[in-house]
């Protein structure tokens, strides 16, 4: 059942979950979600995580529905090889426009 809410991570419309502890489910992320992990309206940014050069790289771009291009991934790999851990992005859309954003190495919290 559609919930008319969207996942904070991938901006996909979530479904109502039948499990007691989680009210929502994201089919794209394949995860159960709490209410604070969703939003009422679709975000105007695109977000994701991609594995590049032995790092999980978190990225986001202005404007919903945009994904990283091969050129973006090459740029990030080049910056990683120069020991950068974050940076700006300027991606080109299908119609030739420019979309700006950021990338960074994803922080992984380790519980001891």
pLDDT tens digits, residue range 22-49? Answer: 888 988 888 888 888 887 776 667 778 8
Averaged pLDDT, 5-31: 83
Q: Which residue has the higher pLDDT, 75 or 112?
A: 75
Q: What pTM was estimated for this model as a whole? A: 0.55
Please give the pLDDT value at position 66.
Answer: 78
Could you tell me what percent of the chain has a pLDDT over 70? 86
Q: At 37, phi and psi to the nearest 5? A: -90, 10
**In the chain, where are the structural domains located?**
5-40, 47-107
pLDDT tens digits, residue range 66-86? Answer: 788 889 999 999 999 999 999
Closest to 87 in 3D by CA, of 112, 63, 52, 111: 52
């Amino acid at each position: 059942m559609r919930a008319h809410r969207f996942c904070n991570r991938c901006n996909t419309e979530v479904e109502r979950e039948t499990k007691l502890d989680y009210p929502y489910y994201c089919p794209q992320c394949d995860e159960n979600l709490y209410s604070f992990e969703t939003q009422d309206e679709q975000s105007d940014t695109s977000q994701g995580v991609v594995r590049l050069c032995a790092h999980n790289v978190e990225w986001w771009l202005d404007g919903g529905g945009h994904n990283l291009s091969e050129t973006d991934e090459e740029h990030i790999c080049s910056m990683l090889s120069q020991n950068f851990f974050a940076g700006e992005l300027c991606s080109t859309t299908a119609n030739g426009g420019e979309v700006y954003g950021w990338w960074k190495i994803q922080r992984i919290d380790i519980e001891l």
